[in-house]
């Protein structure tokens, strides 16, 4: 008598596709509704699966939130940034600035959600803090290499890294709150250049902003 296939065990490619849909739905709903107001039923519906299937992938909403945060930031972002660095101080900061600006623009809703949710869920604050810490460590390590090479003057690299990425974070979060029609009009590229030149002028080992101390 033939053995019936076990339909409860999905082939690996299908499992990965289902997991990806769940994570995408989670990030979207958490961003739009917040953690507390997002139910597992709504998450399952948004992913096109049953609630029972959702629990086969994630034990609960907290585990799903943590997985979504890790999937869409931190290590992947830092790795992408480091892969594009050239060693030229100003050029690298422009690359990093443009990448940061694009990421924050694309994921602004998620960033605001994480900032708002952290005080209400202390146990999740550590999860939310992981991605900024990874970016800070990557930036701090890069700045230390530039100091060692004589391109940047000695500074507290952790503080400087926080300052650099904090400029872009504050700009993107503030843009939706205080921007007025017809006021300003600088492109994202112009803003990145402005922030990088401000940072270079404060940290370069010599005079000027050409990254070579000249």
Distances (CA, A) of 85 to 64, 101, 181: 33, 16, 36
Residue 94: domain span? 73-203
| Statement to judge: residues 31 and 85 lie in one domain | no
3-state DSSP call for residue 204?
Answer: strand
pLDDT of the chain, 214 residues: tens digit per residue: 444 444 455 556 788 999 999 998 988 888 788 888 899 999 999 999 999 999 999 999 888 988 887 776 656 677 778 888 888 999 999 999 998 888 887 776 666 666 677 676 666 666 667 777 888 899 999 999 999 999 999 999 999 999 998 999 888 877 766 665 545 678 889 999 999 999 999 999 765 444 444 4
Closest by alpha carbon to 203, among 149, 139, 154? 154
In a domain, 143, yes or no: yes
Same domain, 83 and 22: no
CB 35 within 8 A of CB 65: yes
Assess contact for 152 and 146: CB atoms under 8 A. yes
99 and 167 assigned to the same domain: yes
**Which CATH number goes with the domain that contains 51?**
1.10.10.60
How many angstroms separate the CA atoms of 74 and 84, rounded?
16
Q: Is 183 left (phi over 0), alpha (psi -120 to 50) or beta?
A: beta
In-domain check, residue 2? no
Residues 132 and 30 in one domain: no
């Amino acid at each position: 008598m033939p053995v019936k296939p076990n339909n409860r065990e999905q082939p690996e490619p299908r499992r990965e596709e289902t997991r990806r849909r769940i994570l995408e739905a989670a990030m979207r709903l958490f961003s739009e509704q917040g953690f507390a107001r997002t139910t597992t039923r709504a998450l399952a519906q948004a992913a096109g699966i049953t609630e029972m299937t959702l629990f086969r992938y994630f034990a609960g909403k907290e585990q799903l939130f943590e997985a979504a945060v890790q999937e869409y930031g931190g290590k992947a972002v830092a790795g992408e940034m480091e892969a594009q660095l050239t060693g030229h101080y100003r050029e690298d900061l422009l690359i990093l600035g443009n990448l940061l600006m694009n990421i924050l623009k694309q994921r602004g809703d998620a960033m605001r959600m994480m900032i708002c949710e952290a005080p209400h869920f202390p146990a999740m604050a550590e999860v939310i803090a992981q991605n900024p810490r990874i970016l800070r460590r990557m930036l701090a390590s890069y700045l230390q290499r530039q100091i060692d090479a004589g391109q940047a003057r000695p500074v507290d690299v952790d503080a400087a890294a926080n300052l650099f990425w904090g400029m872009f974070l504050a700009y993107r979060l503030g843009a939706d709150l205080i921007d007025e029609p017809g006021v300003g009009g600088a492109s994202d590229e112009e803003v990145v250049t402005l922030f990088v030149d401000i940072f270079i002028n404060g940290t370069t080992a010599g005079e000027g902003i050409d990254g070579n101390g000249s």
